[in-house]
Amino acid sequence: MTQRAKNPLRDERDKRLPRIAGPCGLVIFGVTGDLSRKKLMPAIYDLANRGLLPPGFSLVGFARRDWADQDFGQVVYEAVKQHARTPFREAVWDRLSEGFRFVQGSFDDDEAFDTLAATVKELDELRGTSGNHAFYLSIPPGAFPVVTKQLARSGLANPTSADEWRRVVIEKPFGHDLTSARQLNKVVNAVFPEESVFRIDHYLGKETVQNLLALRFANQLFEPIWNANYVDHVQITMAEDIGLGGRAGYYDGIGAARDVIQNHLLQLLALTAMEEPGSFRPHALRTEKIKVLEATKPVEPYGETTARGQYEGGWQGGQKVPGLLQEGGFAKDSSTETYAAITLEVNTRRWAGVPFYLRTGKRLGRRVTEIAVVFKRAPHLPFDDTSTEELGQNALVVRVQPDEGVTLRFGSKVPGNTMEVRDVSMDFSYGHAFTEASPEAYERLILDVLLGEPSLFPVNKEVELSWEILDPVLRHWASNGKPDSYPAGTWGPDSADKMLARDGRHWRRP
């Protein structure tokens, strides 16, 4: 057989082509929930519509509902029509829906899992899924142990040959503290080896988060100033303008810090502060992120370097909205925070002395997630007509959502006869710069699961280090009364402003 001659142009083209998943199927536990309906089902259709799923792909739903396969198919159809990103095409839908199956049962039902095992085996024969199946646990963390044990008992977790794979996908929160996270890791790893465990953090699937890596490591412009010599501080914000609504039962006892800081924001911190990896292979990326998390500590005293709050009723978007304790499902004496802010330090040569301020909250001024790298002021301003009030600090802001892009704030001369300098912004927007539409985060992450590409998924060590960072703050809060209050539509409690004011700084207004 003659070897194909090397063609650099063709090889480069092949690298840019999207990878297509091989024969496989996906089983979703918790298939009746909002996450499945609004994100997972539409993402699966969008992948199929883009030609990234195999022709025989199968989707199995598992829940207590008394549904036939056709009923499940109708639920998926309605979810796709309402929430899919790409246009609906009958030919794509017809081919995809042939692989839909539904299994009724509860998590402790041996017979139901035996039926699921038989269904998966049948799909291997009818759809050619080749024994390759991922199990998506879109369920409360408390159900992880029983489901993983059922997957082991029924044989679903065990490939029958070296050519097959079985993988498990786990949604946050992964534990509620370090001890529970370690216990969950033991339970899951007793059934699935660590390389087969995919812990979903949908923020890591967002285009702009990955663009942060490109911004840092593909451009010589930023590397010389990306350190404590030039950076004054870093602010990482995830703000939501909605309240809890019907999620009170899930949220009470968890709170903003466990829900967002432990996973999303600490992952964003790691990507912002990490050193350049030797390659973008999974092991190299994870190694650098772990180094950052190992060097990260909360700053004491926690009474001055952290803040927490609960939203009260107020006006938002021209409408009057209720406070947290007026919403159903929350105890009147609840100390669960809906706003959390903490100060962290990264004890490395690059970042020593640079505070990282992380904040998240509900019912804030607007929905936005951003990373703001704020630089030190110029040591001298020779402009008589310019004051430090008019000219702020240079800042590089990476907007993760909703208007994905990057903004650079710097000083520029005001037109006229005087030498007056004011802040201006130079803005890059994904929506205007590229004709290609960004895939939804769950599209990218589900495809990575099916491809066995673990770069964007935290491993045991990252999860446990994140809890080590947050646990001391949570213990302090648990023994120091209730959160402060803040009106809906504002940017958090006064204690959060005082937290930065003690350092002579202030929060950015996104």
Residue type, 57: F
> What SS3 class is residue 382?
coil
The catalytically annotated residue of 202, 264, 432, 506 is 264
Helix (H) or strand (E) holding 487: strand 484-487
Residue 421: in which H helix or E strand, if any? strand 421-429
Tokens 């998240």, located at residue:
360
The dihedrals phi and psi of 91, each to the nearest 5 degrees, come to -65, -40
The count of C-alpha atoms lying within 13 angstroms of the C-alpha of 1, restricted to the half-sphere facing its C-beta, is 2
CB atoms within 10 A of CB 118: 12
Would you call 202 a catalytic residue per the annotation? no
Segment (H or E) for 34: helix 34-35
H-run or E-run covering 339? strand 339-346
Location of structure tokens 């009818």? 126
DSSP 31: T
Closest CA to 168 of 123, 75, 143: 143
Residue type, 43: A
Cα separation, 350 vs 355, in Å, equals 12
* Residues designated catalytic: 264
